Structure 1
């Protein structure tokens, strides 16, 4: 299996990688939707992390947002072997696009040149009135960040519950041009992200594979299925890429 996966990775010219929380857990970032994740511990957190609650009480929203997402720790996180493996697939004759559910920015930090952050990012916030963008440093400098132009309270660029997903059409366009789709570290539970593999399934020119530590109910969509710890799987695949 590892040799076959390596063969496809080596011979493909346009690779699209879909990634989920499992890619970032090795960097110490919790999987918020796992069986022991934060969302399952307290369902009210979904209410507090909603667009409705932000506009209802933005000051209290920011207090809870920074605590839930452990914002003080965000800069301590670093790309792991899986992030670096994906980045190193890029070459002069191979295009690699990453479409990620993760909001930690680690794919970009690892050097991947084409990253679509499907659910947004923790690393930026914007003014809901004028659209001016602010960095994580700006957000962390004060308890409640406000726009220097408008004076309005900033809204995180991460997708909140109730926000419209705006990246789906772009994600579909990226996959339409792929000759290889690789899904890594996601249970493919969250809609509409979990609809993206269907597009590859319907395309004769796209080979697809999923690498995840446990089965998903979408495994039947893929040509190759590997259930294993991602870091270990990457280590074995790399042996055949050399």
Structure 2
């Protein structure tokens, strides 16, 4: 508890905060954690192949069937931000500059009201035509078993706006820029197993020399980098932090 109170003081005294978030932030909203020791990918590694750019171009019809099932798209609009999202929004409302760099593709940080969000792995709420770059909302995607571009003369199968396995990461430099501009880095709800997202804490520690805290239910391979290490349920963690701020 002493560490938690010290961290609360650190957060309260900082103006510019970068928060790196992962699936553990959204589990209280009912969204599965894909990367924990109990996560979806742990039990079926073939899903990584089916959710790859290679498989999308090989068999886009079957890709969409599996994609909608794995990411539970029918339920996406039923999910709401939880107290962890609200905690981060409240930091912003208190006058702090809060930048969120998230692995999550559910869009819940935006729904909660945070304004500066880097969706490192994209977003489930839209899809784009690879040919003409027309963008479509989730409502359109869900109306069609396999969503095609409806623009005249096009008709390509839409590609979801998430980073599939094999796709390039386009947000890394932007994420590093936010870290350089911050006073404090919080890492919440991520196992830090996915590259290159998991090298962002190294950048913050070794290049920028920033104070950092990690809050995750389980230990991670990067815990040694952090000044504060808290292994607990995030809902309980933010409740305690809020009480001391």
Query: What range describes the TM-score normalised by the shorter chain of this pair?
Result: over 0.9
Q: Which residue number in structure 1 is paired with residue 143 of structure 2? A: 141
- Whether 1:83 and 2:85 are equivalent positions in the alignment is yes
1:94-133 to 2 correspondence within 5 Å? 94-133=96-135
Q: Which residue number in structure 2 is paired with residue 50 of structure 1? A: 52
Q: Which residue number in structure 1 is paired with residue 167 of structure 2? A: 163
- Whether 1:175 and 2:185 are equivalent positions in the alignment is no
Tell me which of 200, 220, 223 is aligned to 2:224: 220
Per the alignment, in what secondary structure is the counterpart of residue 191 of structure 2? coil
Give a deviation string over 1:166-202, Cα, whole Å, max 9, x none.
1111111110111000000111111111100012112
Distance change in 2, residues 1:215/1:92 (3 Å): closer
Q: 1:50, 1:161 within 8 Å by CA — same for their partners in 2? A: yes
For structure 2, which runs of at least 5 residues remain unmatched after alignment? Answer: none
Matched pairs, number: 241
Q: Which residue number in structure 1 is paired with residue 27 of structure 2? A: 25
Normalising by structure 2, we get a TM-score of 0.95
Give a deviation string over 1:51-92, Cα, whole Å, max 9, x none.
011111111111111111111111111100001101110147
Normalising by structure 1, we get a TM-score of 0.96
CA distance in 2, matches of 1:34, 1:217: 12
Over aligned residues, Cα RMSD in angstroms? 1.3
Give the deviation of 1:205 after TM superposition: 5.7
